[in-house]
Amino acid sequence: MGSRVNMRPTSKNTLLKVVILGDGGVGKSCLMNRFVSNQFDEHSFHTIGVEFLNKDIEIDGETYTLQIWDTAGQERFKTLRTPFYRGSDICMLTYAIDDKHSFRNLQMWKNEFLYYADVKENVQFPFIVIGNKSDVEANEREVSQVEMETWCNENAISACIETSAKNASNVQEAFATAVQHWLRLENRADKNECLYTDTVDLTKKQSENRTSCCINASDE
Ligand SMILES: Nc1nc2c(ncn2[C@@H]2O[C@H](COP(=O)(O)OP(=O)(O)OP(=O)(O)O)[C@@H](O)[C@H]2O)c(=O)[nH]1
């Protein structure tokens, strides 16, 4: 387990905890490293437990510090990763477009996240679905964009994107879309449902227009 944190002077930045989930080998670590360091490792090792990196992103003139948690996708590391779900602002559900099994497992990942993050059942959480490895040859593709969009519709998830950590396609866009999605839910006028059942992180800076730990429960 390792961590690197950008040592920045305190500012008005909003800190958002982003957790990346998905089967082992779909490219979670590579996505994080592409986004944070603009690097790609062809021989990336399996993650054990969790690792996190910070990276700033600017959306509509506002700066957000993303605290990105890369988790171990292999089943045997479940007990090491699940304690880190609590307090997440955004969850990236990741699969590889050349691995149907990883796509089918999205439901399991969503359920695992909701259970261990302790998110209330009736609230809309900012999930984004990521179909990684979009660089693979067409004949290696096992999941179409339409299948991804259909699954998202069925699960009331309005944000999805195909990425390639290898050639950097849509990686920046994926994180930007995730923050925009979080903002949409955050800025709802009628914030009448608490996101988490019992936790409030008092150490965390929240956006200035955030009035509570609340988010609208209705669909987007
Ligand atoms: N072609 C292609 N390969 C990728 C891409 N992203 C990652 N890979 C490769 O997929 C393998 C697994 O990548 P990782 O980032 O370690 O996967 P992970 O999801 O973090 O895996 P765990 O740590 O076991 O959960 C590595 O060999 C990467 O080089 C991509 O966008 N395209």
Token couple for 122 = 């009736």
46 ligand 1 Cβ < 6 A:
yes
What is the atom index within ligand 1 of the atom nearest the CA of 70? 20
Looking at the chain, the whole-number percentage of residues with pLDDT higher than 70 is 80
Distance 41 CA to ligand 1 centre (A): 8
33 ligand 1 Cβ < 6 A:
no
* Residue 127 pLDDT: 96
Question: 167 versus 191: which is more confidently predicted?
Answer: 167
Q: Is the pLDDT reported for residue 140 higher than 50?
A: yes
- CB neighbourhood size of 173 (10 A): 12
**Rounded average pLDDT over 25-29:** 96
Which residues are CB-neighbours of 160 under 8 A, at least 6 positions away? 128, 129, 130, 131, 148, 149, 152
φ/ψ bin of 168: left (φ > 0), alpha (ψ from -120 to 50), beta (otherwise):
left
> What average pLDDT does the chain have?
84
Distance 106 CA to ligand 1 centre (A): 17
Q: Is the pLDDT reported for residue 4 higher than 70?
A: no
132 ligand 1 Cβ < 6 A:
yes
Three-state DSSP class for 84?
helix
Secondary structure (DSSP) of 90-126: EEEEEEETT-HHHHHTHHHHHHHHHHHHTB-TTS---
- CB neighbourhood size of 57 (10 A): 18
* Residue 66 pLDDT: 97
Nearest CA, atom 30, ligand 1: 133
Distance 110 CA to ligand 1 centre (A): 20
CA distances from 210 to 79, 156, 194 (A): 32, 23, 12
In this predicted model, what pLDDT tens digit does every residue of 175-220 receive, in sequence order? 999 999 999 998 873 445 555 555 444 444 444 433 333 333 333 4
In this predicted model, what pLDDT tens digit does every residue of 43-82 receive, in sequence order? 888 888 888 999 999 999 999 999 999 999 898 889 999 9
